[in-house]
């Protein structure tokens, strides 16, 4: 036969796009439209319904950026013959793609009941009631601007209300009462599924050509101008093609309906609250028409917003949860970043998230659901399992720039040896529409073929919400068993994981962090928000510690509600597009204000508790919240502080200065850089020919994703700040001031109170654009690995670039410290708010090799916030020579939990609420139990990476001690009592939760 495949495909494509799709709705009758523009922030339905509305015809412009316009639509319900359904079809001015990134609407009945949402791919609202009866609908239309645009990443004013402008963004297109032709709609779904499958089959496959001819015949059977009456004949033609079963060996995809709703990103938190209502309303409406549909949603925070904003809608969600069709997932408060939050913050993400789900729905999610976070800490498996969960899911590693993960289903092993069953969906998206292309990609890319044949596909519009559509469900039903296609099963996370575990008894193991080879700038962008997070975490530790100690010592009331509110604020701020710095300006304006309120509240709690503990008198107490001794004060205790031993500062002949103590000697030249740092034993730790403490400016122009990315190419463009405006000495310190571009930087160099470390206080008034500021320390140790603190321990990363995996890890996250060393000598750098580092080899063939440690201080990306990081910033560092990892741990706590002095105390000594030895096992949190029993809960962890037997001595009378999981439920055998304390065995980096009954 003559080959006309290409011509036939073009004919079918036009038939589907123009002739078939346009016939889905018939007999449209315009609804009468009226509008009211909300003058400020969104209002309730009751307030909006009471306003005066103006006529609003199709073609009318509406919606200045971030404005809400309410529409009132009235008309008659059309009579619907058999095969038809009456619907309102409402187009607010949608573009044809990217739901959730543009205008959206929430539709209410006249009595205020939420019906469903309007999106660019979901414009229909069912009309129920007798034919001819009057209907009134209200639409809360949100003029969300499309900040992402065409993914050009150009600066935009749209992310800030002050600069977004006032011109209307959208044109109201239509609001009609119409009839959905179910036969035509089903034909469109038949054709779409077979069309998508056909294009994924090999050209030599007979099935591909059979599908082409079936589709051709079906298109020819449809009569233009009489699509309804000819659609049934076309469907009969396609029925054999649709009923041909899948091969027994076909890959099985568990299709999990969900909507990844970013808790803030290219929209503020206030808009996310409305996105949640819209998406959940869509889901509930879809459940009314498809009894097989199961939907899962993570983030307890989003359910809490719904409960507060739309209690009736929340009650409907609760009903579906009880049926098992609306499935809470993840067990976390939000889908958090996992690189930057502290260990205790990640613990509370699970404790707050799980408790909300258990208290409100009686269910406990057993999966950790983080499809979109920017890399995954090696501490996470232990936290997941200790929270009572069994499984972990992510998709984001498909974004790796250079290397492909070797498994899709595996055991992920954390730094302590804990393993969690993990799945990485091979479909490579968390926004699948279940297209033929996506299903084929999942089967083709699945890397565990032969060992197991199951994977999960998350489907539904996400990021900006929206969720699954009826078209997606139609695709799922048609591909349940379809020749040439993977099999699709509507499912839930639990169903998938239980079947996958049973099917794959011995999966491979991935050990350590899952580093995302992308979005490396998120360790540095929006430095004020990162400082606010770190400061809030430290204040929460102090507030809980001293409030719990005060409750034990003085019977003072414990501020449960105040602490809960503060924690929820901090946990929300750790969402993976807030804390990493990748959101619009509005988000950071809100975040910085929230941190200020949280700081004020926590400072009040701390002051109240410490004054209750100190009593009234003439003494002075120094409170130490750190789990290490500071200034002579015991961990978690209070006493008089030892006097500091300030360093000796001397001016050198020929220029420069020497700052010294009995432990070190530091030389600084007139440019403000370190030319020598010697230990008491005389070991030089500044690499010859490479001065340390050098501020370096880099070009910062990533290929894409400005606020997210740092590109390796820009590391070649360093310009050092070596000419200070001034160098001032006094009080045992040096202060250097530099000007560059439109910015100014000041650094104060001194010694720590004990004289063992060099302390650096850096203030920057930053007004650069597309620049990266780093602080560099080339050190004279040949370290093949660098230790970086992560949650509840540290991770070792290579300093070389031998493999593509090593080369891609050119910017890495760390918490309070990094450490490099040789056998017997090391150097550490601690910080109070910095997260991004690059630690590499430095040297040449002649002078030998050392290690370059660089901290990333500031960036200035232009998208999505063109004003990112502009203004004043403060950083503190501590450089410690002759440092072991334990010394790095100590300096990290010292910078982040400085002692507090309380005057007018009645005592000179207050013992800690608990003591722990040896020094490598630390108390990370002290609090009262969440069940309000008054029991004291301690979070303990081994910090150095070694098996350790520890002894804990309570500082108060206890009835008993019990080990618990993170939710403070009994877990494992109770600790062994030994006299006045308890013996606890720790594996490397193990976290234990100990409950002490008073």
Residue 97 confidence (pLDDT): 80
pLDDT for residue 641 is more than 90: no
Residues 6+ apart with CB under 8 A from 322: 361, 362
Residues 6+ apart with CB under 8 A from 459: 255, 256, 257, 258, 431, 432, 433, 434, 468, 472, 476
Q: How far apart are CA 702 and CA 704, in angstroms?
A: 5
Q: Are 835 and 530 in contact (CB under 8 A)?
A: yes
- Helix and strand counts by DSSP (H, E) for the chain: 18, 53
Residue 649 confidence (pLDDT): 94
Q: What percent of the chain has pLDDT over 90?
A: 95
- State the average pLDDT over residues 116-139: 97
Structure tokens at 395: 């998709």
Q: How far apart are CA 49 and CA 456, in angstroms?
A: 43
CB atoms within 10 A of CB 319: 12
- Of 278, 355, 283, 274, residue with least CA distance to 309: 274
Q: How confident is the model at residue 144 (pLDDT cuts 50, 70, 90)?
A: very high
pTM attached to this predicted model? 0.97
Residue with tokens 């904003």: 309
Q: How far apart are CA 128 and CA 109, in angstroms?
A: 11
Residue 116 confidence (pLDDT): 97
Q: Are 628 and 635 in contact (CB under 8 A)?
A: yes
Q: Are 294 and 256 in contact (CB under 8 A)?
A: yes
Burial class (CB in 10 A: 0-12, 13-18, 19+), 302: buried
Q: Are 130 and 77 in contact (CB under 8 A)?
A: yes
Burial class (CB in 10 A: 0-12, 13-18, 19+), 423: buried
Residue 717 confidence (pLDDT): 82
Q: How confident is the model at residue 509 (pLDDT cuts 50, 70, 90)?
A: very high
- State the average pLDDT over residues 923-938: 98
Q: Which of 262, 337, 372, 448 is catalytic?
A: 372
- State the average pLDDT over residues 612-632: 95
Q: How confident is the model at residue 939 (pLDDT cuts 50, 70, 90)?
A: very high
- State the average pLDDT over residues 357-378: 98
443 membership: H or E segment, kind and range: helix 436-445
Q: How far apart are CA 162 and CA 164, in angstroms?
A: 6
pLDDT tens-place string over residues 698-729: 999 999 999 999 999 998 889 999 999 999 99
Structure tokens at 796: 């070792």
pLDDT tens-place string over residues 236-290: 999 999 999 999 999 999 999 999 999 999 999 999 999 999 999 999 999 999 9
pLDDT tens-place string over residues 383-415: 999 999 999 999 999 999 999 999 999 999 999
Residue 229 confidence (pLDDT): 93
Q: How far apart are CA 125 and CA 90, in angstroms?
A: 8
Residues 6+ apart with CB under 8 A from 372: 260, 262, 335, 395, 396, 430, 463, 576
Q: How confident is the model at residue 498 (pLDDT cuts 50, 70, 90)?
A: very high
Q: How confident is the model at residue 376 (pLDDT cuts 50, 70, 90)?
A: very high
| Mean pLDDT across the chain | 96
pLDDT tens-place string over residues 54-110: 999 999 999 999 999 999 999 999 999 999 999 999 999 999 888 999 999 999 999
- State the average pLDDT over residues 760-787: 97
Q: Are 216 and 56 in contact (CB under 8 A)?
A: no
Structure tokens at 685: 């730790």
Backbone angles phi, psi at 638, to 5 degrees: -145, 140
- Of 260, 325, 267, residue with least CA distance to 297: 260
Q: How far apart are CA 540 and CA 345, in angstroms?
A: 10
Q: Are 994 and 975 in contact (CB under 8 A)?
A: yes
pLDDT tens-place string over residues 481-492: 999 999 999 999
Per-residue burial over 428-451, b if 16 or more Cβ lie within 10 Å, else e, is: bbbbbbbbbebbbbbbebbbbeee
pLDDT for residue 2 is more than 70: no
pLDDT tens-place string over residues 647-705: 899 999 989 999 999 999 999 999 999 999 999 999 999 998 899 999 999 999 999 99
Cis peptide before 158 (omega within 30 of 0): no
Residue 412 confidence (pLDDT): 98
Active-site annotation holds for 372: yes
Does residue 363 sit in helix, strand or coil? coil
Q: How far apart are CA 675 and CA 554, in angstroms?
A: 53
pLDDT tens-place string over residues 820-873: 999 989 999 999 999 999 999 998 777 678 999 999 999 999 999 999 999 999
Residue with tokens 């760390």: 814
């Amino acid at each position: 036969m003559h080959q006309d495949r290409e011509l036939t495909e073009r004919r079918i494509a036009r038939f589907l796009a123009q002739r078939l799709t346009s016939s889905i709705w018939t007999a449209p009758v315009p609804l009468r439209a009226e509008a009211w523009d909300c003058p400020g922030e969104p209002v309730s339905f009751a307030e909006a319904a009471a306003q005066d509305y103006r006529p609003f015809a199709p073609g009318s412009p509406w919606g200045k950026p971030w404005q809400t316009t309410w529409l009132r639509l009235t008309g008659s319900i059309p009579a619907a013959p058999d095969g038809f359904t009456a619907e309102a079809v409402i187009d607010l001015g949608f573009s044809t793609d990217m739901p959730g990134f543009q205008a959206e609407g929430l539709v209410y009945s006249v009595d205020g009941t939420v019906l469903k949402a309007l999106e660019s791919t979901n414009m229909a609202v069912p009309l129920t009631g007798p034919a001819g009866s009057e209907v009134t609908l209200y639409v809360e239309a949100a003029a969300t601007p499309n900040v992402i645009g065409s993914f050009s990443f150009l600066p935009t004013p749209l992310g800030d209300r002050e600069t977004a402008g006032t011109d209307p963004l959208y044109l109201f297109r239509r609001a009609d009462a119409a009839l959905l032709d179910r036969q035509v709609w089903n034909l469109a779904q038949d054709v779409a599924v077979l069309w998508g499958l056909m294009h994924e089959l090999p050209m030599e496959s007979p099935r591909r050509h059979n599908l082409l001819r079936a589709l051709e015949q079906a298109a020819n059977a449809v009569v233009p101008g009489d699509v309804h009456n000819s659609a049934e004949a076309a469907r009969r033609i396609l029925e054999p093609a649709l009923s041909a079963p899948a091969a027994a060996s076909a890959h099985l995809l568990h299709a999990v309906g969900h909507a990844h709703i970013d808790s803030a990103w290219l929209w503020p938190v206030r808009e996310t609250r409305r996105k949640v209502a819209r998406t959940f309303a869509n889901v509930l409406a879809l459940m009314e028409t498809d009894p097989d549909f199961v939907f899962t949603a993570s983030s307890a925070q989003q359910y809490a917003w719904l409960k507060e904003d739309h209690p009736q809608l929340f009650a409907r969600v609760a009903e579906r949860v009880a049926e098992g069709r609306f499935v809470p997932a993840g067990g976390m408060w939000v889908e958090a970043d996992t690189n930057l939050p502290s260990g205790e913050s990640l613990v509370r993400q699970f404790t707050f998230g799980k408790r909300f789900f258990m208290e409100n729905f009686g269910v406990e999610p057993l999966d950790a659901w983080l499809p979109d976070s920017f890399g995954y800490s090696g501490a996470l498996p232990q936290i997941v399992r200790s929270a009572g969960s069994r499984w972990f899911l992510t998709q984001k590693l498909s974004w790796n720039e250079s290397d492909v993960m070797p498994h899709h289903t595996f055991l992920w092993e954390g730094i302590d040896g804990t393993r969690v069953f993990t799945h990485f969906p091979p479909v490579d998206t968390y926004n699948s529409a279940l297209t033929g292309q996506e299903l084929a990609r999942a089967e083709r890319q699945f890397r565990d073929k032969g060992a197991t044949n199951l994977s999960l596909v998350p489907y539904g519009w996400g990021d900006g919400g929206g969720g699954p559509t009826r078209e997606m469900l139609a695709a799922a039903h048609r591909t349940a068993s379809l020749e040439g296609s993977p099999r699709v099963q509507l499912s839930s996370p639990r169903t998938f994981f239980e079947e996958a575990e049973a099917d794959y008894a011995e999966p491979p193991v991935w050990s350590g962090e899952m580093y995302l080879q992308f979005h490396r700038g998120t360790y540095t962008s929006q430095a004020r928000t990162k400082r606010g997070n770190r400061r809030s975490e430290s204040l929460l530790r102090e507030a809980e510690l001293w409030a719990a100690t005060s409750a034990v010592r003085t019977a003072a009331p414990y501020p449960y509600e105040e602490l809960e509110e503060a924690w929820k604020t901090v946990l929300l701020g750790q969402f993976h597009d807030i804390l990493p710095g990748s959101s619009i300006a509005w988000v950071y304006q809100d975040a910085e204000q929230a941190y200020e309120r949280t700081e004020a509240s926590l400072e009040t709690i701390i002051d109240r508790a410490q004054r209750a503990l100190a009593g009234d008198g003439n003494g002075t107490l120094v409170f130490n919240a750190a789990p290490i001794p500071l200034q002579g004060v015991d961990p978690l205790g209070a006493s008089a502080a030892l006097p500091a031993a300030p360093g000796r500062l001397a001016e050198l002949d020929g220029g420069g200065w020497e700052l010294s103590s009995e432990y070190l000697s530091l030389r600084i030249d007139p440019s403000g850089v370190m030319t020598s740092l010697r230990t008491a034993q005389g070991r030089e730790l500044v690499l010859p020919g490479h001065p340390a403490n050098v501020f370096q400016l880099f070009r910062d122009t990533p290929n894409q994703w400005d606020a997210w990315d740092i590109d390796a190419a820009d590391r070649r463009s360093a310009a050092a700040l070596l000419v200070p405006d001034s160098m001032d000495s006094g009080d045992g310190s040096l202060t250097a001031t530099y000007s560059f571009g439109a910015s100014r930087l000041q650094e104060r160099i001194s010694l720590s109170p004990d004289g063992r470390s060099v302390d650096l206080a850096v203030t920057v008034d930053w007004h650069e654009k597309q620049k990266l500021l780093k602080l560099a320390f080339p050190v004279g140790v040949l370290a093949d690995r660098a230790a970086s603190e992560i949650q509840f321990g540290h991770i070792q990363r290579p300093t070389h670039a031998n493999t593509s995996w090593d080369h891609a890890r050119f910017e890495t996250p760390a918490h309070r410290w990094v450490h490099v060393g040789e056998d017997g000598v090391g150097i550490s750098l601690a910080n109070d708010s910095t997260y991004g580092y690059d630690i590499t080899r430095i040297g040449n063939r002649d002078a030998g090799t050392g290690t370059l440690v660089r901290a990333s201080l500031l960036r200035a990306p232009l998208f999505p916030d063109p004003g990112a990081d502009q203004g004043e910033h403060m950083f503190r560092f501590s450089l410690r020579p002759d440092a072991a990892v334990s010394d790095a741990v100590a300096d990290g706590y010292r910078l982040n939990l400085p002692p507090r002095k309380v005057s007018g105390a009645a005592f000179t000594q207050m013992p800690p609420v608990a003591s722990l030895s040896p020094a490598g096992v630390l108390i990370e949190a002290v609090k009262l139990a969440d069940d309000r029993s008054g029991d004291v809960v301690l979070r303990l962890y081994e910090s150095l990476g070694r098996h350790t037997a520890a002894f804990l001595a309570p500082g108060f009378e206890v009835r008993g001690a019990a080990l618990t999981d993170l939710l403070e439920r009994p877990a494992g055998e109770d600790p062994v009592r030994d006299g006045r304390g308890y013996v606890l065995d720790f594996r490397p980096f193990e976290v234990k939760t100990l409950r002490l009954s008073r």
